[in-house]
Chains A and B, each alone.
Chain A
Amino acid sequence: MKSPLRFSPLVLSALRRHRLRTWLTILSVLIAFLLFGLLQAIDHAFYGGVKAAGRRILVTMSAESMVEPLPRAYAAEITTMKDVHHVAYEVWMGGYYQHHNQLLYALAVSPRRWLAEEGRALILPHREISAWLKDRSGALVGNSVARTYGWKPGEIVPMRSDIWIHPDGRNTWPVRIDGIFHSTKKALSEGFLVHYRYWNTGMGNPNQVSLLRVKVTHLRDLGKVARAIDARFANSPHPTRTASAQTFVKHFINQTVDIGVIVEDILAAVFFTMLLVTANTLTRSVRERSGEIAVLHTQGYSRPLIFALILAEALILVLTGALAGTGLAVLIVQGLRSTLEAYLPYLTLTPRTILLTLGLSLLFAVLSSLLPLLQVQRLRTVDALRRG
């Protein structure tokens, strides 16, 4: 009987007074939250891999540059160090299929070690895993990349690489597809895994690796082990730089562009503009209705109740725009995912973004109604009635 909804016609009447102004304001909020949703999706597309990276994993690479290889012998040496659980290694193949623009996310890995680390995230028949372990020139490929090129198990794929060229000058690395896996990790569904020994033999046994993945025994030892590894090789011909896997992925992305900073800058500008537009709409609306607000006061509407009505007005404005903008962002991201999944497997709007949208909507509704609330606080009923 005393539901606050009974005031809804009064709140809506304020928004219906200048429909064009109301819709333009909602549109500005919609655009702000559409951009917010899209930029959050892009941010997640780039940094989603950071979170997916193992927390107890350190990545050791050359201190000189990311493309400078390290001796494989480092793996054995690091394994003997205190608080180290195990060490895996890999070589970035820089592979492509037929054309340079058909890049393959190809890694040469130590198969058993790699499967021990990531195997739980793979879904494929056991016989295909067994076949790959026995087949030195075999490959396991993610379902996404297999679907893109129409590959089937047993097929020979002539992978090429401009980074790794055989001593005889060939740049082709033919591999047999031993298995096609689905994965719970999005990035893995683009994976293309070959044996480290296949690469090492093909290159004339240089026994080098692109990087080492060091799993520590306890998370608390992460920093200590990283410093110990770098100290161990500081005076060697190949000094190392070790960081957590999450830091490594972030650093790798930020070498191209700091997406986080760009996203934050754009959003700050967009939200500030939206806040000005919404606050202006509410302020003008309250100023135009000062006589009516005064009459509500004569009818027994207290100032706190009038504050609540204006806040409700702001909430409707901001929430309508925010929900519409976020809904539109979801549709656009879903549309883009089908075409960009190969390049941006983490492109998605997360539940965190949706919650953030709701939180920001409430915050902006409150912020944008501060000025109108101040107007009402200062409004003298007698003066408002006299002005008409």
Chain B
Amino acid sequence: MIDSTPPAIQIIEVSKHYRRGDETVQVLDRFTLTVEPEAFVALMAPSGSGKSTLLNLMGGLDRPDAGRIVIAGTDLATLNEATLTRWRARTLGFIFQLYYLIPVLSAARNVELPLLLLPLSREERHRRVEAALTLAGLPPERHRFRPTELSGGQQQRVAIARAIVTDPPLLLCDEPTGDLDRTAGDEILALLKTLNERLRKTIVMVTHDPHAATFATRRIDLDKGLVGELRPAS
């Protein structure tokens, strides 16, 4: 029997450059990558090598100069701004180094934000928020706490809950442990690993930390200057 499930991510001959003053910086040059569904990929590279750019392209936040990006069978080039926004809402969950939580809203309210776009009752939203926060490992008594009342690790758990609350198949993580100490960082990485293994989320994690990459099932090193070279995960 032939498996007809398309790859989770197909990056085909993608190029991207930026202008920095008079200088042109080529961050991606005919880059090609395929990520299978339910994979946990660590994109490793030093700062400025284009890994965040790659993540933004995968999330449809930026457009490539050349090449194609196909996510779960959808060619992003075919989507206009409005369709892309709706597609992003149901397909992707973003996790950032700086959490980006709204400081005056409780953890639960922060997690509820993506659900406000869906036709759900208040009770259903509440149920999903509690489930996501519990899954992310935030103690129930802290669900009503504001981000400033939580530790860095707990704030990142809230951000992860926010990313998974709509149950998207793909999580894009940009240095998710970059602002955490080793213990808290390991807990977050273990959580991501759990989400990958138990909930079968496809995860692409950008990191410059080799230790973080050990939690992934596949590691891809991007050399500075860029041409993608695939190496087996360590």
Contact = CB atoms under 8 A, between A and B. Distances in A.
- A and B co-occur in one complex: yes
Interface of A: 1-2, 6-7, 9-10, 13, 16-17, 291-292, 294-303, 305, 381-382, 385-386, 388
Interface residues of B, number: 32
A9 B59 CA distance: 27
Given A292-B100, A385-B96, A1 B86 contact: no
Contacts of A299: 88-89, 94, 113-114, 117, 162
Contact of A297 (B52, B62, B85, B122): B85
Interface stretch (B102-110, B196-204, B213-221): B102-110
B102 A292 contact: yes
A1 B113 contact: no
Contacts of A6: 116, 122
Contact of A386 (B52, B88, B100, B121): B52
B113 A296 contact: yes
Contact of A300 (B62, B98, B117): B117
A13 B82 CA distance: 26
A294 B82 CA distance: 15
A234 B202 CA distance: 98
Most buried by A among B103, B104, B105, B119: B104
A302 B90 CA distance: 13
Contacts of B122: 6
Nearest to B106: A9
Nearest to B117: A300
10 contacts: A2-B119, A6-B122, A10-B102, A13-B104, A294-B100, A298-B88, A299-B113, A299-B117, A299-B162, A381-B61
A300 B88 contact: yes
Given A1-B120, A298-B88, A303-B81, 9 more contacts: A6-B122, A10-B105, A10-B113, A13-B104, A17-B103, A291-B100, A298-B59, A299-B88, A299-B114
B56 interface: yes
B117 A295 contact: no
A9 B106 CA distance: 10
Interface in B11-30: none
Contacts of A13: 102, 104-105, 109
Nearest to A296: B113
Q: Chain A's interface: helix, strand, loop or mixed, by majority?
A: helix
A9 B126 CA distance: 14
B92 interface: yes
Given A296-B113, A381-B61, A382-B61, A302 B96 contact: no
Contact of A388 (B88, B92, B94, B98): B98
Given A9-B109, A10-B116, A295 B62 contact: no
B90 A295 contact: no
A385 B97 CA distance: 10
A194 B4 CA distance: 104
Contacts of A385: 56, 61, 96, 100, 174
B82 A298 contact: no
Most buried by B among A13, A294, A388: A13
A120 to B, nearest CB: 59
A386 B50 CA distance: 12
Nearest to A302: B85
Most buried by A among B56, B86, B119, B162: B56
B84 to A, nearest CB: 10
Contacts of B90: 300
A300 B52 CA distance: 19
Contact of B85 (A2, A295, A300, A386): A300
B120 A298 contact: no
Contacts of B121: 1
B61 A298 contact: yes
B119 A300 contact: no
Contacts of B89: 299-300
B100 A295 contact: yes
The 5 closest A-B pairs by CB, nearest first: A300-B89, A295-B100, A299-B114, A298-B94, A16-B104
A388 B174 CA distance: 12
A195 B61 CA distance: 87
Interface in B60-112: 61-62, 81-82, 85-86, 88-90, 92, 94, 96, 98, 100, 102-105, 109
A350 B76 CA distance: 58
A242 to B, nearest CB: 66
A85 B188 CA distance: 93
Contacts of B82: 302
Nearest to A305: B117
Contacts of A295: 94, 96, 100
B61 to A, nearest CB: 5
Contacts of A388: 98
Interface in B218-232: none
Contacts of A9: 105, 109
